[in-house]
Structure 1
């Protein structure tokens, strides 16, 4: 038996192919799909990433090429489980910008963990939309972790993440410092409008032999270095009048009145029947700001040395041990000079052992 060759022409093969294709399409249906694009540069910046605290959210995203977010078109922002308070957000809690310009909200609903918004402004391709949610509304989860936030527009989607973590406590210790020194000063040292007539040491103020009608002035320098936040105060007090073993004494300025308001120097009044007027001594300071105590605001003014502490130096913050002013009109931050002045009359009782002890007390306030 022989097979008979059958010749099929090209046109017949084309027709057959089209018929077959039509049958396939008829059986499965012809369809197309529209692929949603990804929002780009999407982020959520928190104002606080700590656990269980309220935080502001600044959610930014860029419309992809060939897409738009039309005016009045709704889009959603969905927070994951763990964030609370989303449903309390109102239009007044949100500000929106499109391409850097303010955009008003057409609508806002907050249900569960989803915000649904529409704007009065169209966001075109490559333009950035920023939705800022004020702090005080949405509370962060109480568990550390990475949390996904989704933004969905009618045509595009995007997801970003935020990290919720414990705050980092930074601690440090600065050791306290406080140094107080007393230095003697030489003859002819300027001191609050006058000058010294002799020299001192850190532990001695030697007036020497006193002559009636002759003023003697001596001084010491005080230096304070501290990192005390609230500064320091230095006071001085005597353990009693300048007194001799005979019981005679040289009283406090002026004429034994123990003045505590600075006043110009005055000579002892030398009243025969009042031994308080035979001689007196006093002190002055070049620190013009005693932080609440009575200031020595004028040159050559004095108060009495006293068994009551007198403030002679003060500052309300850290000091460097060197900064000072040249007179009593300014604040001596770290250094000042204290002057002591004495004068007697011919009636002052004779004795060769007048003495008293001065005590400086320096107190920092940290």
Structure 2
């Protein structure tokens, strides 16, 4: 009897010891925890309450998507998404966690299929369901995900999400079976635009470099050109004076002149209209002008003092308001060079000849 009792006690002790070893050796149980999404943002086309808006959402998923059951949900409970369909939604994956592209676009449809994600909104919750054949790397762990909803989607998108009707902050949650979750907040306003006004005053600049020029002594043997020192020259290598003009007027400007021909008492020198002529006709009375520009102002036919002497035009119209330069758009300051040609005949009356020519700049605002 003593031996039997002793054996039974030893067996019980052995069983207890085994149970203790098993209990101590078993690993502790931990419930799986969802990872937190990072770099979450949502850029809206407008934050005006009750307005329709596009959404561009970014987030980085630590876990990624590895199977057809790894759904992603975005909860727009406080919004109105009634009209949004899969064609209004784009889903793309970045090639890293920077959310700056390049992007790999996912194919979307109303329901998931092989190679195709499902995109469905029910009760203002968007559910993105991976393809039925999704496997590891469908969306890589640690990569950025982009979700576009609205008219900027390549679907092409035609519908937008309607913002909440108040001016409060609203929280949106991204979750689903893919193992990660995160929340972000959007605040809405009655008016998200700032009206900026300014005034640009009208302006015009106009200047004549010299208002006292002259031919010196005219002779019938050859042409003379007026110069700034009033002594005249035997060539038109330099302008007698310049006219500078600039304006911010919408329709540009015109420069006109008005004046008589060279006059001495009752005697006058005839005006001329010369085309493709370097020096007119020495021995014949002629008074005329030509103009050139350093910009793109329009010099009318008859006044073109171009780079080729034999192709120059000379004209003067006495006592008639006449245009010599024009622009049809606002322009920075341009410089117009003025040249004056004089010829006389052998019998031109002696005298001191002069004239006053008035230049007028007119802007069209």
Using structure 1 for the length normalisation, give the TM-score.
0.64
Cα gap change, 1:287 to 1:245, in 2 (>3 Å): same
Cα gap change, 1:284 to 1:167, in 2 (>3 Å): same
Q: Deviations over 1:294-324 (max 9, x none)?
A: 45544331231222423246585542x5xxx
Cα gap change, 1:107 to 1:308, in 2 (>3 Å): same
Asked whether 1:59 is paired with 2:57, we answer: yes
Q: Any unmatched runs of 5+ in structure 2?
A: 1-11, 20-28, 96-103, 109-116, 153-157, 227-239
* Residue 94 (structure 1) aligned to one of 89, 100, 114: 89
Match of 1:299 in 2: 308
* 1:196-211 equivalence runs, <5 A: 202=211, 204-211=212-219
- How much does 1:44 deviate? 1.0
Q: CA RMSD in A?
A: 3.8
Provide the C-alpha distance between the structure 1 equivalents of 2:73 and 2:289, rounded to a whole number of angstroms: 79
Contact 1:312/1:338 (CA < 8 Å) preserved in 2?
A: no
Asked whether 1:150 is paired with 2:156, we answer: no
Q: Deviations over 1:81-105 (max 9, x none)?
A: 3x44x33333333221234333223
* 1:214-363 equivalence runs, <5 A: 214-218=222-226, 219-226=240-247, 228=248, 232-246=252-266, 248-254=267-273, 263-265=276-278, 267-268=280-281, 278-287=284-293, 289-291=296-298, 293-294=300-301, 296-300=305-309, 301-306=312-317, 307-312=320-325, 314=327, 316-319=329-332, 321=333, 334-348=334-348, 350=349, 352=351, 354-363=353-362
* Residue 107 (structure 1) aligned to one of 104, 108, 118: 118
* 1:9-88 equivalence runs, <5 A: 36-49=34-47, 54-65=52-63, 68=65, 70-71=67-68, 73-81=70-78, 83-84=79-80, 86-88=81-83
Contact 1:214/1:343 (CA < 8 Å) preserved in 2?
A: yes
Contact 1:43/1:161 (CA < 8 Å) preserved in 2?
A: no
Cα gap change, 1:338 to 1:73, in 2 (>3 Å): same
Match of 1:179 in 2: 205
Q: Any unmatched runs of 5+ in structure 1?
A: 1-10, 19-30, 185-201, 271-277, 322-333
Contact 2:174/2:181 (CA < 8 Å) preserved in 1?
A: yes
